[in-house]
Amino acid sequence: MPISIELPRTSDFLTMGHLKTMFALSCVLSAAFFIVGVLPVPIDFPRNWGVPSLHSRSAVAHSLLSALFCGAALYGIHKRTVTAWRLGWVYLGGGYISSVLQIRSLTRTVPEADSPRIALAVAVTGASLVFLHSGFWWKKQRGYFKNNPSEQHS
């Protein structure tokens, strides 16, 4: 008797509920990093980790902006606004550009003998495939969002 295993469809792995949870957690963590950066809390990472100080102005500003963005995204997804869906494309594009820049920065540390160009090409190709899949998934989510009367001009 053959055993039949049915795998869930790819679209079932990530739902809007999961996305809202991810934005809620990101909002809370960003707010916590903002508070730690503003208050005189003696928390810092070891220098060899390559993490900037939590108390620097740029880290505090980044934490505040991240908390605000994640909160706005969470609200937009919760209310199902079309604007949130449109801004999702901006978020994906910015995430892709940020990933490529980080990959480029990391591959600069690869010794010449280990072919840093090949490492860069493989990593960028992988990131491109991930963001391409995310883009196709996000496009299919358009039906989740509803048109508000104030957003009828699309």
Domain ranges of the chain: 16-79, 80-147
pLDDT reading at 100 higher than 90: yes
* Tokens at 39, concatenated: 């208050």
Model pLDDT, residue 49: 58
Question: Is 96:127 a contact under the CB 8 Å cutoff?
Answer: yes
Q: Given a cut of 80, is residue 110 above it in pLDDT?
A: yes
Exposure string for 30-48, b = 16+ CB within 10 A, e = fewer: bbebbebbeeeeeeeeeee
Task: State the chain's mean pLDDT as an integer.
Answer: 83
> How far apart, in Å, are the Cα atoms of 98 and each of 90, 103, 127?
12, 9, 11
> For 46-91, how does the pLDDT look when each residue is reduced to its tens digit (9 = 90+)?
665 555 566 678 888 989 999 999 999 999 999 999 999 999 999 9
Paired with 81 in beta bridges are: 146
Is this model's pTM higher than 0.85 or not?
A: no
Tokens of 40: 């005189």
